[in-house]
Structure 1
Amino acid sequence: MFASRMTSRDAYRIYLIMEGATAFFLGLIFTVNMVYQVTVVDLNPLQLVLVGTTLETVIFLFEVPTGIVADVYSRRLSVLIGLALIGLGFALEGLVPAFGAVLAAQLLWGLGVTFTSGATQAWIADEIGEDRAGAAFLRSAQIGAVAGLAAIPISVGLASLNVRIPIVFGGALFVVLAAGLSLVMPEDGFAPAPRASRSPWGPMCQTLRDSLRLIRGRGVLLTFLAISAVLGLYSEGFDRLWTAHFLDDFTLPALGDLKPVVWFGIIGAVGSLLSIGTTELARRRGSVEAPQAMARALIWLTLGTVVAILVFALAGHFALALGAYWIASALRSTSEPIFNAWLNRSVESSVRATVFSAVGQVNAIGQIAGGPWIGWIGTAWSLRAALSISGLMLTPAALLFARGARQSADAVADSSVLPDAPVLAGVEETA
């Protein structure tokens, strides 16, 4: 096939195109998706969070099984299936403006996310090598921010006609992307499990056992799981309620004859620009070159995010809340690729997708556990209280990042004394 004759440089370009396109489509959808759920489907804070809980429950149930599929059979196939399912989910949500349909859409979207989660990172790491993967994660985050920014005015323009249009259109584009990638996406750096195995569950179970053994044997991976749980606990409330906070607790300033949805385009556009700048700053400062540098960056990014969310939740003026939201969004978008790069350096290729998926599953557990009661607080008390508690729940992540830094340093020290002892993948080159 044509895809099999491509080089690692081609794979790198395809990865950036895929991530850019995904960000563009998500920009079309997410610029107005929460506005759609609040104003058209008329969801209350608890329902808004239950939508997210449904999504995360699906992720919890399928994250590791689909990760094993990527490790045993094909990362490429897993990514293609995932993109198509994500598109179908969004199309359903936009076509049927009802709470039940929105919940059903999360089933498709969530299943699609589990097919792409871990598989995408593992695929590009296999194709271009671990050393280049960290820089690729940051570069894709920058391209994604630019693509998302470009999508915002298009989304707002379409939403001015009907807020459902960009959601359905974005979903359709995901399906088109999956079809296009099926023609050009290579997979030369991955060797599937031998076909000699009579049962597909044999290699899948072996991969899962290897992944669990690796996680238990490396303290830093257990710390990553704890961090992911904390990130899940806090993020569901913030992600699902920030739009309602702007709409319910503030009066959006008039923009002439333009509709209020334009404000959310502005919010997304400025947030994307800030994300581009903070991610570039992190790249230039070498924040993905060694575990210690990654940990230091993540500690400060986490503490800054906590403060920004608290200011956003408690601000009495729209301008202050808006600035705090932009800061929180920029810091969060910078943290994700650094965290992925650190995790990528800690895992061997044979189980990388499964470990990434396990981390994603723990994140889903956190969101399932934290989301509903945060939504209840938002409904029974106030959105300000719910958002404040969400921000405070992120605080332990800074301590866990510091712990991970010490564990990474200990692993490097142990490897210098005992050369045959298992160490973090990639640490030898960066220590």
Structure 2
Amino acid sequence: MPTFTLQQSETEVYTPHGGLALVGHCLNQHTSLTKTARTVVKRHGIPNIDLLRTYLGLICVGKSDFAAAETVRPDPFFKSATGIKQSPSSARLRQRFDEDAVQLTPLLNDASAEFLETIKAPVTPLAMGHVALDMDVFPMDNSQTHKEGVSYTYKGYDGYAPIAAYLGQEGWCMGCELRPGSQHANKGFVDTLKRILPRARELTTAPLLLRLDSAHDARENRNFLRGQEHVDFLIKWNPRKQDPLMWADKAQSQKAWTLDRHGKMEAVLSEELPDEPGVRRIVKVMVRTSDPQGQLYLEPEVSLEGWVTSLPASVAEEQQAMDLYRDHATSEQFHSEFKTDLDLERLPSGKFDTNNLVMAFATLGYNLLRWMGLRLTGPEAPIRHPAKRRRLRTVMQELMSMACRLIHRGRQWLLRFGRHCPGFGVCRDLYRDLTASG
């Protein structure tokens, strides 16, 4: 094995994050943040847009802590790739976000939806023609901290419980709003819907299918959704004080039993809700007399599982509705990408509004990386296992973390990638598309 001599150049500029050139172009050419950031008036100091460019660049390479701003502050590539004129220190970045978080958060949310609309992001519908809109709450572990809003979550630890919405089979994020950990998922949910549904409507004219878990099984939510045009819902039913034996008797009277295995019977019932026209409840009754290994129970075990939906039976029969809800579990993967791939399990600030601003940054960064990831499933992409979409971590590994050299020659800026750079073809094509449409 050869012995290497390690040297550091005094003039040449290299970067391990060549993909930031894509992020900078997306932000500056395909959103209006450069203009809208001026609405948050500052008489002196670093312009707001430079703060936004700095932190979004950090988010897209998986760095969420404010201290990371110090590492990129002297980096000429980071500044030129994102368009930064004045690089903030970590202390200045934190201070300004604490001061202006409430005003900056809606600007970032609007920019995220604007970006998807500008680049004409594809929104793939379900086989039935509806576009899925999945909304759910997920906990973030911030235990052993004294951050504002951290409280006991349903997972058994202290943290936050943000609510996120994902559109289409691509999983575009329509919003990820931070909430205290102890806040019930359904508190303020209608107000959240009023913010999310218009953003989804900007991307597709197809009917929406809103899929929700049992925490949102409330009459208020159903009444609101029934008043929306071209919006159907599929909500996990919360049996609350229902008597399982009553449903078992109903299944017996309708002779709806089927044998799932020895010792287990199932029946699927469907009924219209009398006081809610156009809404039906699908109930799956299960009776177990033994476990899968054949061990008999002393008494039969009766359990219920159900769904409430506005989809007519002609569009989705009982089994189809259950399969549609089962696909709702895909959104759990998107939650994990926020927490692990973007390094946002533990949020960086002690102030609630600032952490909510960080989640708005994460939503924009998530959509940028998700869009880039669409190209990583094509023939030009680096060799990976076949998939419909790539995790954000894969996008960071294959596109964001591409080493290159920054060259300034003849009034031109050049990025020179290595001869064996596997992601160069995808990066080149994406940049051409961005500059052509910009």
**Fold match by TM threshold 0.5:** no
- TM-score range for the pair, normalised by the shorter chain length: under 0.3
TM-score normalized by the length of structure 1: 0.25
The structure in which a higher percent of residues are strand is: 2
The structure in which a higher percent of residues are helix is: 1
TM-score normalized by the length of structure 2: 0.25
